[in-house]
Structure 1
Amino acid sequence: MKVLLVNAPHPAIGSRIPDDHLPPLGLLAVGGPLLDAGHEVKLLDAEFGPMSEEEILAQTVAYGPDAILYGHSGSTSAHPIISRLSRAAARALPEAWVIYGGVFPTYHWRDILQEESHIDVIVRGEGEETAVRLLAALETETPLRTVPGLAYREHGVPAATVPAAVIQDLDAYRIGWELIDFRRYSYWGGKRAVVVQFSRGCPHLCNYCGQRGFWTKWRHRDPRKFAAELARLHREHGVEVINFADENPTSSKKVWREFLEALIAENVNLILVGSTRADDIVRDADILHLYRKAGWTRFLLGMENTDEATLSLIKKGGTTTEDREAIRLLRQHGILSMATWVAGFEEETDRDYWRGLRQLLSYDPDQIQALYVTPHRWTPYFRLAKDRKVIQPDRSRWDYKHQVLATRHMPPWRVLLWVKFIEAAVQLRPKALWRTFLQPDSRLRQSMRWYTEMGRRVFPFEVKNFFLRDRRVDDGPTLADFWGAPQDAEENSMLRTRRAAPRERAEAF
């Protein structure tokens, strides 16, 4: 079949401000197996420009696909534009199959199939094997009910097949790197870059996380094969920056050390950036020199909050003591720390924000990323917050960078000012300025300057949008009325059963 993978332009602030763009890993992960199955596959990456909806439709029609696959990593906030794009494509190409995958449609499949008649099939959970099986079924006119991991209409009514099983061997399917022009993708200030995954899932129980249940189970790639792939990307395609999309790549110290040592043995000069947990950094104090030697330059530490009671509420599983120690250890080994701090988990007061700022300053992170709590219907946190009022009805703003829930003790504008003040106080304190402009390590200095430049552009953009463009409601619906009843019973999107080997799968199909 002739297949078009469409990466819709994302409306989030972070996608519009930097001049850098990263390749859509999720679509490339599906594209590789489709190519290997004999399909003709093309990627339309509409983030460049970004392309207008009219341009996207024109290129879609010009390609003339038999199947159009839509997906996006920023699934919830990207849904409105994917809805419009897919509707226009279905009108223009009525014979083409319109297929949608990602985190949001995995859980909201009933709503989407009821409300959007132009979408034919939804891929639920991991897409590599399910997409191959789906297209094979469409080619042979095999009933869709025989393919695990799908949602579709049967007799006009939304229906779902049994969940697909998790892919145990993540090396069984390759990334379709040939679908991109590496010269177009960059990060970290114009350096050629890609996004990768060493692992999927997370063993921890944070109740607000929208990704943990999607992946269902923590798994990892073969450490040596993965290191060899990164080295090949550097040597053959000039990739300089590797951005890890993992929720928690360091979950297994033994496996992680094996990867670090394998990458060091490849002797390639890479900049590695990604996310992990503070307690893993503390656990790995004796091997952090290997982190640095392998190329790690920055870790985003998902601290979420500086209040112990809030951390307990959201089942973070970490402590403020570990958070502080992780930052100290990273600095000791020449690795930058970015602390995420999330506003809105509970009904904060001025005193809470002031206390949070003081705690953050005592942590002394190199960088900070302030976010707003954004509840997902399939997470346990949604049930805790279901009676809170929604102030942002525009679903494209549900991207962690916009306030979406009301707070009892202060209006939205005051929450914004506190968040912006906290960001400025952390990033402009003397220690941070010294690390940005005067520290002797040129690699870290460049990284700090690049992030500071992004902040200089994003900060006024967010404030301007809040007061002049964003539209909020004073007395909105409850969270449950807005999104529907809690769905945490369906949080795990896949089955935990064993997967057959590729040869066994081919023969069984």
Structure 2
Amino acid sequence: MRVLLVNVPHPAIGSRIPDDHLPPLGLLAIGGPLLDDGHAVRLIDGEFGPMAPADLVDEVVAWSPDAVLFGHSGSTSGHPVIAEVSRAVASRLPGVPIVYGGVYPTYHWREILAEEPHVTAIVRGEGEETARRLVAGLAAGADLAALPGLAIRRGGEPFATAPAPAIRDLDAYRVGWELIDHARYSYWGGLRAVVVQFSRGCPHPCSYCGQRGFWTRWRHRDPVRFAAELARLHREHRIRVVNFADENPTASPKAWRAFLEALVAENVDLILVGSTRADDIVRDAEILPLYRRAGWQRFLLGLESTDAATLALIRKGGATATDREAIRLLRENGILSMATWVVGFEEETDADHWRGLRQLLSYDPDQIQMLYVTPHRWTPYFRLAAERRVIQADRRLWDYKHQVLATRHLPPWRVLAWVKLAEVVLQARPRALARTLFHPDPALRHAMRWYARMGRRVWFHEIRSFLVRDRRATDGPSVAAFWGAPQDDEEEAMRPARRAGGRA
């Protein structure tokens, strides 16, 4: 079959502001197995330009596909764009199956199938094996109801087939790197880049995380094979930056150390960036020089709150002393720290924001990323936020960079003011400016300056959008009324893979 993978242009600030674009790993992960099955596969990446929806539809139609597969890592905020483009494609290509996959459709399959009749099937959970079976089934005209991991219509009503098992061996499915021109993708200020996953899932129970349940359980690639793949991308395609999409790549100390050692042995000049937990950094204090030799230049650390009650509420399991020590250790070993700070978990006051700002200053991170809490109905946090008011009904703005929930004690403009103040204070304080302008390590100085340039653009863009473009409701619906019933009982998207001996 002629299978077309479509990455629509995303409206989120993180997609539109940077001059760099990263390849759509999720669609490439689907494309590799389909290529190996003998299908003709092509990727259209609408992020470049970005492409206008009409132009994107024209290019889809011109290729005459037998099936069109949509997906986007932006999930909730990307859905309205996918809905618009897929609807237009279906009207121009009647009878061609439209398939949709990703986190958002995995959980909102009922509404999508009820409201968007042009969607043929939804892939729920991991897509590599499910997409292979689905495309084979479409080619053979088989009954899709017998295939696990799908949501389809049966008797005109939305119907979910049995959950697909989580993939045990992540190395059994390759990424279809040949579907992209590597020269078009960059990060870290114009350096050729890719997105990868060493692991999937996270063993920690943070109640607000929309990814943990999607992957069902934590698993990892073979450390040596994974290092060899990164080395090959560097040698054959001149890749310089590797952006890890993992939620928690360092969860297994043994596997993680094996990967670092294997990558050092490959002797390639790579820049590694990604996210992890502060307690894993503290755990690995003695081997952080190995991190640096492997190429790590920045870790994003989720420091969602300094308040013990809030940490308990969201089941973060962190501690301020650990957070501070992790940042110190990273700096000591020549690795930048980016502190992610999420506001809005509770009904904060001015005093809460002031206390949070002082705590962030005491952490002294190299970079800061301020986000707004965004509830997903398949997470346990949804029940805690169910009665809070939604002030942003445009789902394209549910990207963590826009306020979507009302705060009882502060109007939206004052919450924005606190967030913008924190960013200025953290990034423009003398110590941070000195690192940005005069960091002794040229590579880290480049990274600091690149992020500072992008941060300035985002800072002004967010204020301008708040004042001029974005519209907020003054008396919006509750979260429960906006999204519907909670789905935390469906949080695990797939069946746990069976281990030897029949145990999950």
Say which SS state the counterpart of residue 447 (structure 2) adopts. Answer: helix
Preserved CA contact (<8 Å) 2:343 2:373: yes
SS in 1 for 2:227: helix
Gaps of 5+ in 2: none
1:14: how far off? Answer: 1.1
Give the deviation of 1:95 after TM superposition: 1.9
Within 2, Cα distance between the matches of 1:193 and 1:256? Answer: 21
CA shift for structure 1 position 306: 1.9
Aligned residue in 2 for 1:496: 496
Q: Over aligned residues, Cα RMSD in angstroms?
A: 0.8
Q: Tell me, yes or no, if the aligned pair for 1:304 and 1:340 is still in contact at 8 Å.
A: yes
CA distance in 2, matches of 1:306, 1:448: 25
The correspondence of residues 454-473 of structure 1 with structure 2, limited to 5 A, is: 454-473=454-473
1:232 aligns with 2:232: yes
1:172 corresponding residue in structure 2: 172
The answer (yes or no) to whether the contact 2:163–2:494 under 8 Å persists in 1 is yes
Output one character per residue of 1:210-266: Cα deviation in whole Å (capped at 9) or x when no partner. Answer: 000000000000000000000000000000000000000000011100000000000
Letter in 2 for 1:473: A
CA distance, structure 2, for counterparts of residue 485 and residue 366 of structure 1: 41
Q: 1:401 to 1:89 in 2, by over 3 A?
A: same
In the aligned structure 2, how far is the partner of 1:478 from the partner of 1:322?
36
Q: Which residue of 2 aligns with 1:305?
A: 305
User: Contact (CA 8 Å) 2:8, 2:81: kept in 1 or not?
Assistant: yes
**Aligned partners of 1:98 and 1:145: how far apart in 2?**
16
2:473 maps to 1:482: no
Q: How far apart in 1 are the matches of 2:188 and 2:466?
A: 27
Q: Deviations over 1:8-43 (max 9, x none)?
A: 100001111111000000000000000001110000
Distance 1:484 1:498 in 2: 33
5 Å-filtered alignment, 1:276-355, equals 276-355=276-355
Residue 50 of structure 1 is matched in structure 2 by 50
Aligned pairs for 1:63-78 within 5 A:
63-78=63-78
Q: Which runs of 5+ in 1 are unaligned?
A: 501-509
Q: C-alpha displacement at 1:139, in angstroms?
A: 1.1
Check the 8 A contact 1:165/1:499 in 2, yes or no. Answer: no
Are residue 389 (structure 1) and residue 389 (structure 2) matched?
yes
- Could you tell me how far 1:312 is from its partner in structure 2? 1.1
In structure 2, how many angstroms separate the alpha carbons of the residues matched to 1:39 and 1:257? 38
**1:433 — aligned with what?**
433
Structure 1 contact 166–499 (Cα < 8 Å) conserved: no
Question: What is the CA distance between 1:303 and its match in structure 2?
Answer: 1.2
**Change in 2 beyond 3 A, CA 1:338/1:71:** same
Aligned residue number for residue 2 of structure 1: 2
The corresponding residue for 1:128 is: 128
Match of 1:406 in 2: 406
1:318 shift after superposition: 1.0
Task: Give distance in 2, aligned partners of 1:43 and 1:380.
Answer: 35
* Secondary structure of residue in 2 paired with 1:304: coil
Please state how far the C-alpha of 1:499 moved relative to its aligned partner.
8.1
Which secondary structure does the structure 2 equivalent of 1:275 belong to? Answer: strand
Mapped to 1, the partners of 2:367 and 2:45 lie a distance apart of 30
Alpha-carbon offset, residue 145 of structure 1: 1.2
Match of residue 249 from structure 2: 249
**For each residue in 1:137-191, what CA deviation from the matched residue of structure 2 results, as whole angstroms up to 9, or x when unmatched?**
1111111111100000011000010100000000000000000000000000000
* Partners of 2:202 and 2:212 within 8 A in 1: yes
Alpha-carbon separation, structure 1, partners of 2:114 and 2:305: 38
The residue type paired with residue 75 of structure 1 is: S
Cα distance between partner residues in 1 of 2:464 and 2:19: 20
Contact 1:43 1:179 in 2 (8 A): yes
Distance 1:390 1:305 in 2: 22
If the length of structure 1 is used for normalisation, what is the TM-score? 0.98
Q: Indicate the residue corresponding to 1:204 in structure 2.
A: 204
User: Given residue 83 of structure 1, which amino acid in structure 2 is its aligned partner?
Assistant: A
Q: Which residue does the alignment assign to 2:111?
A: 111
The alpha-carbon deviation at position 361 of structure 1 amounts to 0.1
Does the alignment pair 1:162 with 2:191? no
Report if the CA contact (8 A) 2:167-2:497 is conserved.
no
Instruction: Please tell me whether the aligned partners of residues 214 and 492 of structure 1 are also in contact (alpha carbons under 8 angstroms).
Output: yes
Tell me whether 1:274 sits opposite 2:274 in the alignment. yes
> Could you tell me which residue of structure 2 aligns to residue 90 of structure 1?
90
Deviations 1:415-442 (A, max 9, x none): 0000000011000111100110012111
1:390 is paired with a residue whose SS is coil
Deviation string for 1:370-398 (max 9, x for gaps)?
00000001000001000000000001000
Q: What is the one-letter code of the residue matched to 2:440?
A: P
User: Structure 1: which amino acid aligns with 2:182?
Assistant: F
User: 2:140 — aligned with what?
Assistant: 140
- Aligned residue for 2:142, secondary structure, equals coil
Give the corresponding residue for 1:507. Answer: none
- 1:379 alignment partner in structure 2: 379
For residue 89 of structure 1, what is the amino acid of its counterpart? V
Rounded Cα–Cα distance in structure 2 between residues aligned with 1:70 and 1:261:
37
Distance 1:427 1:31 in 2: 40
CA distance in 1, matches of 2:229, 2:392: 42
Q: Residue by residue, what CA displacement relative to the aligned partner does 1:33-62 show, whole Å, maximum 9, x if unpaired?
A: 000011100000000000000110110010
Distance 1:446 1:382 in 2: 40
SS at match of 2:301: strand
Identity %: 72
TM-fit CA distance, 1:497: 2.9
What SS class does the counterpart of residue 195 from structure 1 fall into?
strand
SS at match of 1:290: helix
The verdict on how the C-alpha distance between 1:364 and 1:315 changes in structure 2, with shifts beyond 3 A counting, is: same
Q: Which runs of 4+ in 1 moved over 6 A?
A: none
Q: Is the contact made by 2:2 and 2:67 (CA closer than 8 Å) also made in structure 1?
A: yes
TM-score (norm 2): 0.99
Q: Is the 8 A contact 1:66 1:95 kept in 2?
A: no
